Amino acid sequence: MKQASIKNTVCARIPTRHGEFSLHYYENDIDGKEHLAMVKGKIKGRRSVLVRLHSECLTGDVFGSQRCDCGQQLEEALRLIGESECGVLVYLRQEGRGIGLFKKLQAYNLQDQGFDTVDANLKLGHQADERDYRIAALILKDLQLQSVRLITNNPEKIKELEKYGIEVEQRVPIEVGHHRENLPYLKAKAEKMAHLLTLKKAETGR
């Protein structure tokens, strides 16, 4: 495995409806993509910092697609961090659980033919989840956090961060509700990818 290195090349103040953040722009020599960290408050040397690792989802984050819950999770994570004394949202450029936008859209077409989100990826010759959290761990180390409380429903994220030397003190669940369009997607993640989802509460008006 190639030794990864990252560089925090620029940081800018970003005022949002959830409070003021600083946006850190990271370059790396592994995938060549720009990964980002939205930082709230003073986090250097802190323990139990609230952290969310959010993988890019253009369709959900930008266009409001209801095929998933990504955009809603992004909004909820920023709200939770904004209400905390300090926190970090790492925005990873890993579209489609790492298979890229083109393949993700092809997977959507397969889902419309009856495949679930996992089997669609497999049908295209990919793994169910090809994301890599080395860069996320390096970003958290660069920000000099001592330990984190991780906002996630995915136990694999915890394992990956711990594998790369990040202490995860607590898992903070993040469920934003389900509806007709995203329920099959969420069920597949719970049943086939071990995501910790209750699927008990649906958003109204969906």
Domains delineated in the chain: 6-94+133-174 (3.40.50.10990)
What pLDDT does 199 receive?
84
Q: How far apart are CA 127 and CA 120, in angstroms?
A: 10
Tens-binned pLDDT, residue by residue, of the chain (206 aa):
556 789 999 999 999 999 999 999 999 988 889 999 999 999 999 999 999 999 999 999 999 999 999 999 999 999 999 999 999 999 999 999 999 999 999 999 999 999 999 999 999 999 999 999 999 999 999 999 999 999 999 999 999 999 999 999 999 999 898 888 988 888 888 889 889 889 865 444 43
At residue 204, the pLDDT reads: 43
Question: Residue 98: left if φ>0, alpha if ψ -120 to 50, beta else—which one?
Answer: left
Instruction: Look up residue 60 and give its DSSP letter.
Output: I
For the record, the structure tokens of 136 come out as 């996320």
Please report the pLDDT score of residue 188 as a whole number.
84
Burial environment of residue 75 by CB neighbours within 10 A (0 to 12, 13 to 18, 19 or more): middle
- Both tokens of residue 45? 């040397």
Q: Which residues pair with 80 in a beta bridge?
A: none
Q: Residue 2: enclosing H or E segment and its boundaries?
A: none
Indicate if 129 belongs to the active site. yes
Predicted pLDDT at 111: 96
What is the DSSP pairing of strand 148-151 with strand 168-172? parallel
The reported pLDDT for the residue numbered 149 is 98
Helix (H, G, I), strand (E, B) or coil at 130: coil
What are the C-alpha distances in Å from 5 to residues 11, 38, 168? 18, 19, 22
Q: Is 79 a catalytic residue?
A: no
Q: Which of 52, 69, 129, 134 is flagged as catalytic?
A: 129
Of 131, 132, 149, 171, catalytic = 131
Phi, psi angle pair for 61, to nearest 5°: -70, -40
Q: According to the model, what pLDDT value does residue 30 have? A: 86
Task: State both tokens at 83.
Answer: 């209400």
Edge to edge, what strands does the sheet with 19-28 contain?
A: 6-16, 19-28, 35-40, 87-92, 49-55, 148-151, 168-172
pLDDT of residue 5: 84
